[in-house]
Structure 1
Amino acid sequence: MADQWHADPLVWGNGPRLLEIFQEPTCPFSVKTFNKLDDFLSQAGEDNVRVQIWLHSQPWHLFSGIVIRAIIAASTLEGGKSNAYKVMAAVAEHRDEFVFENHCSGANRGTTPDEILQKLENYSGVALTAAFEIPDLERETKRHAKYSRQNGIHSSPTFMVDGLIDPEMGSGDDVSEWVKRFR
């Protein structure tokens, strides 16, 4: 039943320390961050840290809402967060197909939401359109937005270490610099 869905939290690792990352999936700096997550978990140790991704929509990334809803939709399917990860990886790998040039122009201006979903399904291998159509899926999208706002998040990526924003942590840092914060 559509009213019995559950969005799997976007959390990897099971350690006591927590790195929360607020990211907009089509943002180039968020893509740099996303591409470092596996390496970070490996170096820091999945038994030492947890990484939680919060999806943070930014209106200048014009497909942001569609892509975020698709990621959340994927997390409701069997396989949960692993499906969401596949969709985020597809966006990261094919970022140019999910953004406008200069945030306002280019070939993607003629792209429809259905075409975005089809690209996400093709690249990720996750059949997510039916889940995308869950009528109240936005309650999970709103939960991500509310948590971001409650924590004063304005841009992506933003990093929180054990509940405190770390303004010195950035997408351009080497993974080893991230790991140092968790020793």
Structure 2
Amino acid sequence: MALQPSLRPLIIAGTADAPHTLDIFLDYVCPFSAKLSLAIDSVLVPLLGPGGRYHGKVKAIFRPQVQPWHASSTFVHEAGLAVARAAPESFWSFSLALFKHQGEYFDVPTSTLTPLQIREKLAALAAEVIPVPSSAAGKFADLLVLASSPNGGNAVTDDLKYTIKFSRQNGIHVSPTVLWDGLVANEISSSWGEQEWTDFLLAKVTIE
């Protein structure tokens, strides 16, 4: 599946030239996405990373899945994309932190906050994850500053549009959804652990 160059940090495991691809559509404020993120980090990242059985064979791409019925979904995904630009090496760490704190961005906790206050909370979380000393934290905040025009978005709006259009044209409606080499793998579940992922990859990938 295609991935524009500016979003290369969304490859969270494996090498960019790996022949097989797991496209994993996740929403930061979806509890099932949070559950799957734990398996990704504990199982897939080691398997696809250096020294792993499938290193160079499979890559995993985080596909932001904005779900507008969650009121803060746009804001949290903007934050993820801002980290991808400001501190690409911290994108997955920030994503895990945001999944851990997702309850703070659910509908009720954010219902009394302004958009600026939500972005300030996200900036504080990013500052905890991005290594210091670093200018990246300041760059992160700058990327989320609204344009001077009344409806111009911010510096990551184009990236957000890309991710939303990508989901729409591929018929992705809910999170989590996982594609294997471009086709929906309905059997993959947020409840999968090491055994299920190991069996899946063993059946899909030839190791020479």
Q: TM-score, normalised by structure 1?
A: 0.84
Shift in alpha-carbon separation, 1:163–1:107, aligned structure 2, 3 A? closer
Matched, 1:42 2:46: yes
1:113 matched to 2:111: no
Given the superposition, is the C-alpha separation of residues 97 and 138 from structure 1 closer, same or farther in structure 2, using an over 3 Å criterion?
A: same
Identify unmatched segments of 5+ residues in structure 2.
1-5, 131-136, 148-153, 203-208
Query: Alignment partner for residue 85 of structure 2, among 65, 73, 76?
Result: 76
On the 8 A contact 2:143/2:155 being kept in 1, the answer is no
Residue 129 in structure 1 maps to residue 135 in structure 2 = no
| 2:96 aligned residue | 89
| Amino acid in structure 1 at the alignment position of 2:33 | S
SS in 2 for 1:172: coil
Larger mean Cα displacement after TM superposition, 32-41 or 164-173: 32-41
CA RMSD of aligned residues (A): 2.0
User: In structure 2, the residue corresponding to 1:51 is in which secondary structure?
Assistant: strand
When Rg is computed on C-alpha atoms for both structures, the one with the higher figure is: 2
Residues 29 and 156 of structure 1 are in contact (CA less than 8 Å); yes or no, is this contact kept in structure 2?
Answer: yes
1:6-17 aligned within 5 A:
6-11=6-11, 12-14=13-15, 15-17=18-20
Q: Which residue of the other structure, out of 62, 65, 71, is the alignment partner of 2:71?
A: 62
Distance in 1, matches of 2:183 and 2:155, equals 31
Write the distance in 1 (CA, Å) between the matches of 2:155 and 2:191.
Answer: 36
Taking structure 1 as reference, are residues 177 and 51 closer, same or farther at Cα in structure 2, changes over 3 Å only? same
Match of 2:106 among 88, 99, 105: 99
Count of aligned pairs: 172
Cα distance between partner residues in 2 of 1:115 and 1:179? 42
Whole-angstrom distance in 2 between the partners of 1:67 and 1:17 = 29
Q: Residues of 2 paired with 1:181 and 1:88: CA distance?
A: 24
Provide TM-score, normalisation by structure 2. 0.75
Contact 1:7 1:73 in 2 (8 A): no
Moved over 6 A (4+): none
State the distance in 1 between where 2:165 and 2:109 align: 32
Q: In structure 2, do the counterparts of structure 1 residues 120 and 107 end up closer, same or farther at CA, with 3 Å as the change threshold?
A: closer
Percent of residue pairs bearing the same amino acid type: 30
Counterpart selection for 1:52 from 61, 84, 89: 61
Unaligned runs of 5+ in 1: 1-5, 101-105
